[in-house]
Structure 1
Amino acid sequence: MDERDELLAAICEENSATMEDLQDQYGPESYGNHESVDRIYLSEATWSEHVAGHPSILLDPEAYQKAIQISELMAELHEHMSAKD
């Protein structure tokens, strides 16, 4: 069992839910999926403004490049999850 499977099993146990319950509540075209898209958007906006745009990050070219990579990955994740909405 990999880490993802362990996390899913823990969520099921904590919520007395089955994998089918999770699929219904959080799968494609669900409110839960829409919620994750919104959370990704908020996280990326916060990251870009408060971390990637922070003067100490801007002064360090390597740190800035890493911060931009994280922003780009968040944008890719947002796009991927939005396609399920």
Structure 2
Amino acid sequence: MGGRSLSRDAEGEPDRTVARTIAAVAEMAASGKPIRYLRSIFIPDDETRLILFEATPAEVVVATARQAGLDPDRVAQADSRERLAPG
């Protein structure tokens, strides 16, 4: 998972960020790097964006983010569990 501050004034930036990220992931995957784009979460009130990838090792995430024109503040390993709501 990569995280970075995002200016509140960046109109349309979330869509551009996602497009650049998906393109970078496709290029990295085509060159044999084990990475997959999962999702992006934008939190405008906190000026934050989280971009979730599936990749090993973490250096692949950093290289992909840089190729997408991003400079992540940090890259962290995340673990996800999905729990289905009753009903």
Q: TM-score range by the shorter chain?
A: 0.3 to 0.5
**Structure with the larger helix share:** 1
TM-score, length of structure 1 as denominator length: 0.37
Q: Which structure has the larger Rg? A: 1
**Structure with the larger strand share:** 2
Higher relative contact order (CA 8 A, sep 6+): 2
TM-score, length of structure 2 as denominator length: 0.36
